[in-house]
Amino acid sequence: MTSSLISRNATLVGRAATLTTLVAALLAPAAASAQTITRGPYLQKPTTTSIVVRWRTDTASDSRVEWGAAAGSLGNVASDATVTTEHSIAVTGLSPGTTYTYAVGTTTTRLGGDDTDHRFTTLPTPGTRQPIRIWTYGDSGYANAAHTATRDAYFAYSGANPSDATDVWLMLGDNAYFLANDVNYQTAVFDFYEDFMRREVLWSVLGNHEFYGGNTSATQTGPYFSMFDFPSARESGTNGVASGTEAYYSFDYGNIHFVILDSMDSSRAVGSAMLTWLEQDLTATTADWTIAAWHHPPYSKGQYHDSDTEVNEIEMRANVVPLLEDYGVDLVVSGHSHSYERTPLIDGHAGLSDTLDASMLLDTGSGAPDTDGAYRKADTGQAPNQGAVFVVAGSAADARPFIPVEGHRLMASKLVSYGTMVLEVDGDTLEGHFLGHEGDILDSFRIEKGTARCPASPPSGCLASGKSGLVAKQGANDASDSLTYRWTGAELPAADVGDPSAESDLGLCVWDASGLLVDSALPPDAVATYEVAALATKLWVTDPEKPGLFLYKETTGAADGLRFAKVQTGAKGLMLVRGKGTALALPTSPWTLPVTAQIVARDTGVCFESVFAEAKKNDSTKFIAKATAD
Amino acid sequence: MPRLPALPRRSAQGRLRHLVAALLCAHAAIAAAHLPPSEQIQALEAAQATHPDDPELLLQRSAIERRAGHPKAAATAARRALRLGATPSRAHLALAAALLDAGDADQALETLETALDQAPGDPALTRARGQARRARGDFAGAARDLAAALDLTAQPSPDDILEAMSVHVASGDEKGALAVADRVRVRLGAVASIELAAIRLERESGRHAAALARLDRLLAQSPRHPGWLAQRAAILDTLDRGEEAARSREHALAVLRLHPRSRHPERIATLERELHASLAASSPPKGDSAP
């Protein structure tokens, strides 16, 4: 047919240009001439070694994804012969935390990609401590001016390449109004974020409008469940357990464990499948941070949505929040109310708002590091009942006043303003910023973990030494500074120390007459980062033939900060800690006498103290002092 | 960047008028969903005044009346929707749900039988019939329906699976409950909420080896789960496999040692104490070893 058509048309005078075009089209692979991508490509269900690439076309064809390390060198191919308009290819065999360039198309034709606009990044290995940025917000379902402004404000905040600056993108439900059906999603999500979605995985929770759009958690059917792939079988992380449903699930990004719950259409009752799974999941995780997300906020006085009266909010607060707090949740993000509401660091507020009492407020400040100071959680990792911050970020596309106008009494910050939430996690620090639609940061807070650190002046009540010594040497640079403190000559009860080999929680504090000089501690993850199979390599050493002796020695070569400890309990007690390097932050000497040194066992709360009223040497190179009890 | 217009402020009446206007649009009944139930009902009444014969509005009305705790009004709206041409399966389902809420399981069952005659194999109707049968005390019939509904659903929810299992147990068919768990595991994999229920059933029935096999499937997913390791030890004790039990407990304690005690929730601290106590109880006293 092709040749006859060309032959017939070749005889027509004055249609040469048309003919040329036609011939070119006909000689090209058949699918390429007509097929158009109408959705995506977009990225789903990343793991450390795989990712799902999806796209929709106007006509059906088979599917192919090519990928490689950089544009122009896509040497890998995955394809599916199924003829469809809904294309979904699982790309496997990837490396953790690695960015790849990709292209999509049919087995004969590339439809798009192989450029810097088409890239994906696999998940980092769970537990990896690296700076992580999370962009999260709810109720963004209008493709309106407000949503455009909040989106563009974040893109401006993130610099030239927002997707490179974003690690986790999480929508908090009501992602498309009113019915959250396929057409609404096309407008409010896929068209609205077309470029961003080519490079950034979209995670999501179910909102009430998703439910109105014909989605149902009971059968995992409806447009929401069709267009997204979430890890129901623990694919995206090794910290949790399989939920068995995409309505609620968990995943890990670096040192963060994300728990995504369904506050709309799954049972929220104690003993329900979701809560049973949640407890098992929280028991299994060993991540440094736990962030939970669901749509209906446990604390809110947003217009139309009062957490004292709506059953979803009440049940999530009464049944889910206490469980999360028991397992040390750090942050809960929700939407539903079209406003911004953010609590201080709280714990144990499961009742109605009038049951709030002072004991539930673990820190009444704003959490802003430059004013009230950061919220501090003493322990790293899961820190049960040490407080969490609850955020309502439901004003990405619509903002409405509180009812009553003064809002919820619990909040440290409440704003009727368009905006989105930006979370920055780095090691043991989490910062939250509410980014307004004009690009201003309208609220900020910080949570610091593992901050059972030294107070501004020496606390009283410590166990005094019989003999002690303190040596601080100023090196040629900060990296060669060193410090040694020895506490001995007195009884050291085993119960006062606990089990340092399990806790790795000894801290060292040194003050002089002018204030705190040294605030250091053994790395709390020195134990936690090792797998069971590798327990023999852990840094603490004990000897059954030498009861009461605990020895810690850093052997990885990263000799920075407090890296050596020796503890001997019993009648002839000994505590010795030694540190080196920049992380000690050793102030220059001479120091102002008297100098006080304390070792603190964080789990027992017992401290071991020496006061040095005199110094053998106290100049710009060294501080050397010994003390003997009277 | 241009400033957005100031936020409009409306009184409650203004909001209602706004919503009534919105409700005149197709599907706009959903807009009322952000209001409390009483206001949602008012808004729907206003919309129905203009569109009294809209079956979609009536089904919305039925759903809202149910949420508001008015099952009789919900049933009335569903019946009217059915008469006015609503999709029969949806209308029957709404009517049956309202009747069940009202405590009329017989009528609900009759409604669902009629609906299933017209739409045999409909999973939602089948599940609802199972719930109606359970409400009437027909646990065996309920178990059959709920299991069938699961088989008809490509990706059933863990809640529905647990419901089917519990109804099987109520009907005295524990093996049926376990069969439900096994059938869904083929599709969903080992899901903790389901498998733990199955393990409890196996243990209560004395099938400890089967319980162990289920637990090992879970542990294959999360080998460091201290609670599962502890439960594994308890099962191994029952099977007189004391050495393996001790190893499982030591493994659990090793996992717990990965995290400092101060980070343990109380229930994990309790677990740790129990593990230590069990290990101590199972260890032979010093000097009492066999010659």
**DSSP letter, residue B166:** H
Summarize the confidence of residues B30-59 as an average pLDDT. Answer: 73
**Which is more confident, A542 or A441?**
A441
pLDDT at B72 over 90: yes
Please give the share of chain A, as a percent, with pLDDT higher than 70.
89
Half-sphere exposure of A553 (CA within 13 A, CB side): 4
Mutate to test the interface with A, among B263, B266, B275, B286 (most CBs of A within 10 A): B263
- How close A149 comes to chain B (CA, Å)? 8
**Bridge partner list, A340:** A393, A415
CB neighbours of A52 closer than 8 A, spacing ≥ 6? Answer: A43, A44, A45, A46, A88, A89, A90, A91, A229
Q: Are A89 and A13 in contact (CB under 8 A)?
A: no
Domain ranges of chain B: 39-118, 222-282
Q: Looking at chain B from residue 82 to 121, which residues have their Cβ under 8 Å from any Cβ of chain A?
A: none
Question: Can you tell me the distance from the alpha carbon of B40 to that of B46, in angstroms, rounded to the nearest whole number?
Answer: 10
Among B4, B158, B226, select the one facing A145 at the smallest CB separation: B4
Query: Tell me, what's the pLDDT at A581?
Result: 82
Number of CB atoms found within 10 A of residue A45's CB = 23
Question: Comparing A225-229, A290-294, A360-364, B27-31, which segment has the lowest mean pLDDT?
Answer: B27-31
Distance from CA of A527 to the nearest CA of B (A): 6
Least confident interval from A88-102, A526-540, A590-604: A526-540
**Distance (Å) from the alpha carbon of A344 to chain B's nearest alpha carbon:** 21
Subunit contact A378:B262, Cβ cutoff 8 A: yes
Q: What SS3 state is found at A42?
A: strand
Give the Cα separation of B236 and B279 in Å (integer).
13
| pLDDT at position A577 over 70 | yes
pLDDT in tens, B183-200: 999 988 999 999 999 999
Q: What is residue B207's predicted lDDT score, i.e. its pLDDT?
A: 97
Taking CA–CA distances from B31, the nearest residue in chain A reads A178
Minimum mean pLDDT range among A365-374, A549-558, A621-630, B267-276: A549-558
CB contact under 8 A, A286 and B259: yes
Q: Which two tokens stand for residue A271?
A: 């003993």
> What's the pLDDT score for residue A15?
41
Only one residue has tokens 């001479």, namely: A590
Q: How confident is the model at residue A364 (pLDDT cuts 50, 70, 90)?
A: confident
Quickly list H helices, A431-547: 494-497, 500-503, 525-528
Alpha carbon distance A562, A555 (integer Å) = 12
Distance from the Cα of residue A374 to its chain's centroid = 17
Tell me whether residue B26 is exposed, middle or buried, using C-beta atoms within 10 angstroms of its C-beta: 0 to 12, 13 to 18, 19 or more.
exposed
Instruction: Write out A295-343 in H/E/C secondary structure.
Output: CCCCCCEECCEECCCCHHHHHHHHHHHHHHHHCCCCEEEECCCCCEEEC
* Domain definitions of chain A by residue range: 35-121, 132-449, 463-628
Q: What is the mean pLDDT of residues B118-126?
A: 94
Any idea which of A12-26, A368-382, A579-593, A603-617 has the lowest mean pLDDT?
A12-26
- Across the interface, whether the CB atoms of B153 and A219 are under 8 A apart is answered yes
Is residue A243 helix, strand or coil?
coil
- The 10s digit of each residue's pLDDT in A213-239 is 778 888 899 999 999 999 999 999 877
Residue A574 main-chain phi, psi, to 5 deg? -145, 135
pLDDT exceeds 80 at position A182: yes
Share of chain A above pLDDT 90, in %: 63
Which chain B residues contact residue A401 at CB under 8 A? 7, 9
Query: What residue of B is the nearest CA neighbor of A217?
Result: B157
Confidence of residue A529 (pLDDT cuts 50, 70, 90): very low
B residues 218-257 closer than 8 Å to A (CB): 218, 221-222, 224-228, 251, 254-255, 257
CB contacts < 8 A (A, B): 186
DSSP string covering A464-496, please?
EPSEEEEEEE--SSGGG-EEEEEEEEEEE-HHH
- Tell whether B262 is within 8 A of chain A (Cβ): yes
- Please tell me the distance from the alpha carbon of residue A191 to that of residue A181, in angstroms, as a whole number: 14
Beta carbons of B189 and A502 less than 8 Å apart: no
DSSP structure string for A250-269 = EEEETTEEEEE--SSSS--S
Mean pLDDT of A536-564: 70
Q: Which residues in chain A touch residue B7, judged by CB atoms under 8 angstroms apart?
A: 399-401, 416
Instruction: Look at residue A522 in the predicted model and tell me its pLDDT.
Output: 75
Tokens of B166: 């519990």
User: Are A328 and B263 a contacting pair at CB < 8 A?
Assistant: yes
Which pLDDT tens digit goes with each residue over A114-132?
Answer: 999 999 999 999 989 999 9
Rounded distance between C-alpha atoms, residue A335 and residue A140, angstroms: 9
In B, minimum Cα distance to A242 occurs at B191
Interatomic CA distance for residues B25 and A177, integer angstroms: 14
Question: Taking the mean position of all CA atoms in its chain, how far away is CA B129?
Answer: 17
| Mean pLDDT over the full length of chain A | 87
Residue bearing the bigger pLDDT, A288 or B10: A288
> Do B169 and B177 contact (CB within 8 A), yes or no?
yes
pLDDT category of residue A501 using cuts at 50, 70 and 90? confident
- CATH number given to A132-449: 3.60.21.10
Optimal mutation site among B10, B126, B153, B159, interface A, most CBs of chain A within 10 A: B159
HSE (side-chain half, CA atoms, 13 Å) at A478? 8
Neighboring chain A residues of B3 at a CB cutoff of 8 Å: 438
From A369-378, A438-447, A461-470, B8-17, the region with the lowest mean pLDDT: B8-17
pLDDT surpassing 90 at residue B288: no
Interface check A400 vs B, CB under 8 A: yes
Cα–Cα dist A559/A553, whole Å: 10
**Residue B257: predicted pLDDT:** 74
Angle at B74 between CA B69 and CA B80, to 5 degrees: 170
Q: How much is the pLDDT for A532?
A: 27
CA distance A302 to A401: 7
Is residue A26 pLDDT above 80, yes or no? Answer: no
Whether B266 has its CB under 8 Å from any CB of chain A: the answer is: yes
Using CB atoms, pick whichever of B222, B262, B264 lies closest to residue A505: B262
Q: Name residues whose C-beta falls within 8 Å of residue A91's C-beta, 6 or more positions apart in sequence.
A: A50, A51, A52, A53, A65, A67, A76, A78, A100, A102, A120
- Judged by a CB distance cut-off of 8 A, whether residue A280 touches chain B is yes
More confidently predicted of A541 and A246: A246
Q: Cβ contact (<8 Å) for B157 and A220?
A: yes
| Residue A338 to residue A305: CA distance in whole angstroms | 9
Q: What is the pLDDT of residue B25?
A: 40
> What CATH number belongs to A35-121?
2.60.40.10
Q: How confident is the model at residue A584 (pLDDT cuts 50, 70, 90)?
A: confident
Are B4 and A146 a contacting pair at CB < 8 A? yes
User: What is the mean predicted confidence (pLDDT) over B117-122?
Assistant: 94
Question: Measuring CA to CA, which residue among A323, A313, A363 is closest to residue A343?
Answer: A363
| CATH fold group of domain B39-118 | 1.25.40
Least confident of A11-25, A346-360, A386-400: A11-25
Mean pLDDT of chain B: 84
Q: What is the per-residue pLDDT across A387-428, written as a single tens digit (0 to 9) for each?
A: 999 999 999 999 998 988 888 989 999 999 999 999 999 999
Interface of A with B in 38-97 (CB under 8 A): none
